[in-house]
Homo-oligomer: A and B are copies of this chain.
Amino acid sequence: MATIVPISGDVSPLIQTRGNRLLAALSRDDAAMISPYLEPVSFAVGDYITRAGAPIESLCFFEQGIAGVLDSLDNDRRYAVGLLGAEGFVGWPLLMGDDRSPYDVTMRAEAGRALRIPADKLLAAIEQSATLRTTLLRFTHVFMLQMGRTIVSSLAHSIERRMARWILLYHDRVRADEICMTHEEFRLMLGVRRSSVTDALHRLEEEQAIRAVRAKVLVVDRAKLMALAGDTYGLPEQEYARLLE
């Protein structure tokens, strides 16, 4: 069941290499500056990387797994505002002059592996190196673009089309066509009731874009998903490539 399935259709523009892509993009000097402080950590699905309101004590550069960035309303329901994997890191508010995390960040879909660095070490490093700082800020910027597209997507598109987008975002961040996602997981992303998820999944299945089995989604036709997502998918990914490669 944990079989690695080759990626279907077009290849995901985001995740190609092992390890964290931001770290891989660093210059030799920048990498040398922070690597002594990087410490490997792992997370199980559901684990919290940060909690809303808590001080940021360290930053995590993911090597595997998917982190969901969640905002909660009235201490009640929670909604995803974004998603990231091995292309990014968690703790960006620190670079933006905030010492607390505004969001819950939790592992989703698959277990995570990351390199963790203490906040003070990284702050010292970006004070020294403008190129390091720029690299990290560029990722933050791309994440902001993703948030922007989440807004227009939720305003303009039906549940089915928004679902296609989220599947793509997950697909980009796993190394297989098999994505572990329960309906409840989708509910978090889409902010809809669980049975609407069921219906939308069935529609995507009828269109042969995916196959859904218990707690899993199989990407069958990536091109079809991209057609459904329209412009709500793609731009942040292109910008990542342009700015960070």
Compute how far the CA of A144 lies from the CA of B140 in the bound complex, rounded to whole angstroms.
Answer: 10
Q: Is the CB of B155 within 8 A of A239?
A: no
On whether the beta carbons of A156 and B77 are closer than 8 Å, the reply is yes
Report the Cα distance A152→B102, complex, angstroms.
Answer: 14
Quote the shortest CB–CB distance from A146 to chain B (angstroms).
10
Q: Judging by beta carbons under 8 Å apart, are A148 and B102 in contact?
A: yes
Chain B binder among A5-13, A127-135, A201-209: A127-135
Contact partner of A135 (CB less than 8 A), chosen from B93, B97, B130, B239, is: B97
Q: Are B155 and A190 in contact (CB under 8 A)?
A: yes
Known contacts A147-B147, A231-B73; decide if A154 and B154 are in contact (CB<8 Å): yes
A26 proximal to B (CB < 8 A): no
- This chain: how many copies in the complex? 2
Question: Are B73 and A152 neighbours in the complex by a CB distance under 8 Å?
Answer: yes
- Determine how close the nearest CB of chain B comes to the CB of A59; give it in whole angstroms: 15
Instruction: Determine the distance from Cα of A154 to Cα of B152 in the docked complex, in whole angstroms.
Output: 10
Within 8 Å of chain B (Cβ to Cβ): is A20?
A: no
- A window 221-237: CB within 8 A of B: 230-232, 235
| CA gap between A138 and B94 in the complex, in Å | 10
User: With an 8 A cutoff between CB atoms, is A96 at the interface?
Assistant: yes
Binding site secondary structure of chain A: helix
Cross-chain contact B102 with A137 (CB below 8 angstroms): no
Contact call A97/B138, Cβ cutoff below 8 A: yes
Type the 1/0 row for A59-97, where 1 means its CB is closer than 8 Å to any CB of B: 000000000000101100101010000000000010111
A19 sits at the interface (CB 8 A): no
A136 vs chain B, min Cβ distance (A): 9
Answer yes or no: A145 CB below 8 A from chain B CBs: yes
> Cα distance A150–B71 when bound, in Å?
11
Determine whether A149 belongs to the interface, using a CB cutoff of 8 Å to chain B. yes
